[in-house]
Chains A and B, each alone.
Chain A
Amino acid sequence: MRYIRHQECEIEINSNKFFAKRATLSAGSSVQDNRVYGGGLRSYSSTSALEASVEFSYYITGDNDPLIALTGTHSCTGKFCGIEFSGAYLTSYNVNIAPYRLVEFSAAFSIYSGFRNETQTGSFKTDPMKLANGAYTELLNFNKNNIGIDFPNDINYRVSCERTPNYVIGHEYPQDVRLGKVEKSISVVGENVGSIINFSGKDFAKISISPKNIDYAARGQTIECEGMISSQNLDISSNGLMNGSIEIIESAR
């Protein structure tokens, strides 16, 4: 045994290899001790299914991100450094954008069919690529009149997908996994928030974000959001500048 180098650990979803920066695989059982009267240990047994997940952050090198299509009812298969999994469902999808930072995508999956095999090293290579950068990302309708911010300096886009496994007695893995609510939200940090919202939030015109690289080539699909401004926040401290932030929500399902 030896430590696996970062360049030997491939991350794969539906046979697509990802330029991942960080990745985590976790599996947790609910095993508990069974003790009898008198304190004797009888056995260990589990009270619920395995909680397993894979999450990773990555960069997009093409004009499409294959993971955004997984916010629906489809499951996927994948590999984490050779450990295979199937019956994986996307539970959260994030995009972080900041000036001059690489546009970072991240995804988290719940695994409902367990894992197979042990770690196995592997690697891939491509030609040099140009990744999306916050300095070149195109924003549409991000202005004072629409969302109260002219100079966005941090954008976080999130999609969360509610997954409910349907277990049948006698089976280790669920018979199916149902898709519940799908919620999109965007938090935007900038220099102000505009007029303060009331109890019913605030409507706004559709905003869109197109991550682009230094050549203004698209990296991933255009992200669009059309919902309500649900919260606003202003904060300032001495020796600092006022920071405004807003939270936008859109219920997609």
Chain B
Amino acid sequence: MKGYVHNSDQSFHLNGLAISGVQSLNANYQIPTEDNNFLGYVGPADLIQNAPGVARFSLDRVMITSDEPITELIAAETGFDGGIEYNSQYINFQSGFIDSYQCSFAVDSLAESNISISAYGEVGPNVIIKRNTQKQNELFIPSSSGISIDFDGRETNRVVSFAFEMNAEHKPVYKIGSIFPCEVVLGTPIKQKFSIEMEVDDYKSKNVYDYMRTGTHFETIRVTLKNQCGSQEQVQYVFRDAHLLSQDFSTNSENDTSINLSYSTVSRDKPEILYI
């Protein structure tokens, strides 16, 4: 008995790939139960399962390689396997679906992402999963100075921070006589949120009432992240028909003038994240 689990003795696999840059992991499952209360019954109290068990996995990672192997699993028709290994022990899942994916970038810090997975079917040490069937990608560390945003027909690289969030709701469908779901249905549309903080030079604000007159303001926004490790690799997040949700302009006597913009968009397809 070692008494503890060292971080070097842990790993997380997703669809055959050992995920790099993992900062924290959480795995839980819940088995709903009800009491065995019956009229007149004074036998041993017990609990009875009354709904299917669902497992959830979430992980935070620092983006030292691109998230492409993860984001390509978003809105997948069929589930993928994966799991945690610690001290040669396992908590594996058979059929997982990405419920949410978030990533955030800020000047002077490494980009981070968070992934939440719902797993249906068996979960535990006896589940056999694919391991190391995918090769690790080359290092990809988005440069603080390499974040640029193109929207409203202008391009600026004075981005201070940027965050993207995607939520895809999955609904398992169970049939009588089966302990596993017969289908896991992806709820559409897929909701995406995007917020960006920029230093202001000539940013031109919009009139709120213009939006009211013309309907919701649509915008196509393209955020590009360039690799600071020398290569020409880049990731592009494209938000088509994004709705401006809020604008937050702030300034002070220290000449710090910034603006926070929040956008939301929905789509029938998975988010447009291009790895170039």
A158 to B263 CA separation, bound complex (whole angstroms)? 53
**Contact between A133 and B42 (Cβ–Cβ < 8 Å)?**
no
Distance between B73 CB and nearest chain A CB, rounded to angstroms: 23
**Contact between B40 and A100 (Cβ–Cβ < 8 Å)?**
no
Q: Which among A9, A59, A135 has the greatest number of chain B C-beta atoms within 10 A?
A: A135
> Count of chain A residues with Cβ under 8 Å from any Cβ of B?
49
Chain B 43-59, CB-CB to A under 8 Å as 1, else 0, gives: 11010111110000000
Q: Which parts of A16-33 form the interface with B (CB within 8 Å)?
A: 17-23
**Contact between A11 and B176 (Cβ–Cβ < 8 Å)?**
no
Distance between A193 CB and nearest chain B CB, rounded to angstroms: 15
Closest 3 CB pairs of A and B: A10-B40, A99-B174, A125-B43
A17 to B43 CA separation, bound complex (whole angstroms)? 13
**Contact between A99 and B42 (Cβ–Cβ < 8 Å)?**
no
Main secondary structure of the interface of A (DSSP, over half): loop
The yes or no answer to B37 lying at the interface (CB within 8 A) is yes
> Count of chain B residues with Cβ under 8 Å from any Cβ of A?
27
Contacts A99-B52, A100-B49 hold; do A124 and B175 have CB atoms under 8 A apart?
no
Chain B 174-200, CB-CB to A under 8 Å as 1, else 0, gives: 111111001101010000000000000
Stretch from A85-93, A148-156, A196-204, A226-234 forming part of the interface with B: A148-156
The yes or no answer to A43 lying at the interface (CB within 8 A) is no
* Chain A residues proximal to chain B, CB less than 8 Å: 6-11, 17-23, 56, 58-59, 81, 97-102, 122-128, 131, 133-139, 142, 150-155, 190-191, 239, 241
- Chain B positions within 8 Å of A22 at CB level: 39
- Chain A positions within 8 Å of B39 at CB level: 6-7, 9-11, 18-23, 56
Contacts A99-B52, A125-B42, A125-B43 hold; do A136 and B173 have CB atoms under 8 A apart?
no
The yes or no answer to B38 lying at the interface (CB within 8 A) is yes
Q: List 25 A-B contacts (CB under 8 A).
A: A6-B40, A10-B39, A10-B40, A18-B39, A19-B39, A19-B41, A20-B39, A59-B38, A99-B178, A100-B174, A102-B48, A102-B50, A122-B40, A125-B41, A127-B43, A128-B43, A128-B44, A128-B46, A135-B174, A151-B183, A152-B176, A152-B177, A153-B176, A191-B173, A241-B173
- Chain A positions within 8 Å of B44 at CB level: 125, 127-128
Please tell me which one of the listed residues B42, B176, B182, B183 contacts residue A134 in the complex, with CB atoms under 8 A apart. Answer: B176
Distance between A157 CB and nearest chain B CB, rounded to angstroms: 12
**Contact between A17 and B176 (Cβ–Cβ < 8 Å)?**
no
**Contact between A99 and B175 (Cβ–Cβ < 8 Å)?**
yes
Known: A59-B38, A128-B46. 7 other contacts (CB 8 A): A9-B39, A20-B40, A102-B48, A134-B177, A139-B176, A151-B175, A154-B176
A215 to B184 CA separation, bound complex (whole angstroms)? 26
**Contact between A137 and B176 (Cβ–Cβ < 8 Å)?**
yes
Distance between A107 CB and nearest chain B CB, rounded to angstroms: 14
**Contact between B175 and A133 (Cβ–Cβ < 8 Å)?**
no
Q: Which parts of B1-49 form the interface with A (CB within 8 Å)?
A: 36-44, 46, 48-49
